[in-house]
């Protein structure tokens, strides 16, 4: 059976694993699960804590490419909406699901994860994830895609004006976003070096 939307462009997953439909489906599911897992991780930081959710989006998109990365985050969004405790927990530890999640000010960011992963994957298919500076630009761009969708959603749901929207949905997350982009920009080139070394020994 053929793989999902086969592409001649190589991303990290294709350097490690052969392209097969079963492999692609497993990678898409695995990316959704990784995002759900990292969404539960919170690191205290002023003025708001950092969660691992966006870091997972960047890593999944870069590792799987545009189509599989976008599909993985779409699956993540759908499974969380359907009732699984996949989204980042609320302050009381609960998880929003279904229409309650849809009406939340933060749901636009979850929607934004899908094109963000696809965007990062598209650039990674063009080798932008293999050197630190290009990878940093790639992941910073992916984060901007999330905000480009999440902020208007927040404004519509809350009725906030532009200043309030930026105060609630952008400014508190700038430091965390930079940290996550740097982490991803360090990890992906290192992962490529490891994958190339393994492939060289295998060949």
Each residue's pLDDT tens digit, 103-151:
999 999 999 999 999 999 999 999 999 999 999 999 999 999 999 999 9
Rounded CA-CA distance 133/178 in Å is 13
CATH number of 76's domain: 1.10.1760.20
Given a contact cutoff of 8 angstroms between Cβ atoms, the answer to whether 104 and 169 are in contact is no
- Is residue 83 one of the residues assigned to a domain? yes
- Count of structural domains within the chain: 1
- Is residue 148 one of the residues assigned to a domain? yes
SS3 content of the chain, % helix, strand, coil (to 5): 70, 0, 30
Range scoring the smallest mean pLDDT among 2-11, 157-166, 181-190: 2-11
- Is residue 162 one of the residues assigned to a domain? yes
Give percent above pLDDT 70 in the chain: 92
- pTM of this prediction? 0.92
- Helix, strand, or coil here: 203? coil
- Is residue 179 one of the residues assigned to a domain? yes
- Is residue 147 one of the residues assigned to a domain? yes
**pLDDT score for 173:** 93
Residue 6 has pLDDT above 90, yes or no: no
- Is residue 76 one of the residues assigned to a domain? yes
Question: What is the number of other CB atoms lying within 10 angstroms of the CB of residue 160?
Answer: 17
Locus of tokens 């592409």: 7
Domain coverage including residue 188: 12-197
**pLDDT score for 3:** 58
């Amino acid at each position: 059976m053929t793989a999902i939307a086969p592409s001649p462009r190589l991303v990290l997953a294709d350097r490690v694993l052969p392209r097969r439909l079963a492999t692609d489906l497993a990678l898409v599911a695995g990316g959704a699960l990784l995002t759900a897992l990292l969404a539960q991780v919170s690191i205290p930081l002023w003025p708001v804590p950092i969660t691992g959710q966006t870091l997972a989006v960047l890593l999944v998109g870069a590792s799987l490419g545009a189509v599989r990365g976008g599909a993985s985050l779409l699956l993540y969004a759908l499974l969380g909406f359907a009732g699984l405790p996949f989204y980042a927990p609320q302050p009381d530890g609960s998880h929003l699901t279904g229409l309650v999640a849809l009406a939340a000010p933060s749901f636009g960011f979850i929607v934004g994860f899908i094109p963000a992963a696809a965007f990062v994957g598209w650039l990674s298919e063009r080798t932008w994830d293999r050197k630190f500076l290009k990878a940093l630009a790639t992941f910073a761009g992916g984060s901007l895609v999330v905000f480009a969708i999440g902020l208007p959603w927040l404004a519509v749901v809350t009725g906030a004006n532009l200043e309030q929207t930026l105060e609630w949905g952008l400014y508190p997350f700038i430091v965390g976003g930079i940290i996550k982009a740097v982490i991803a920009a360090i990890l992906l080139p290192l992962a490529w070096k490891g994958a190339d070394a393994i492939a060289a020994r295998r060949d």
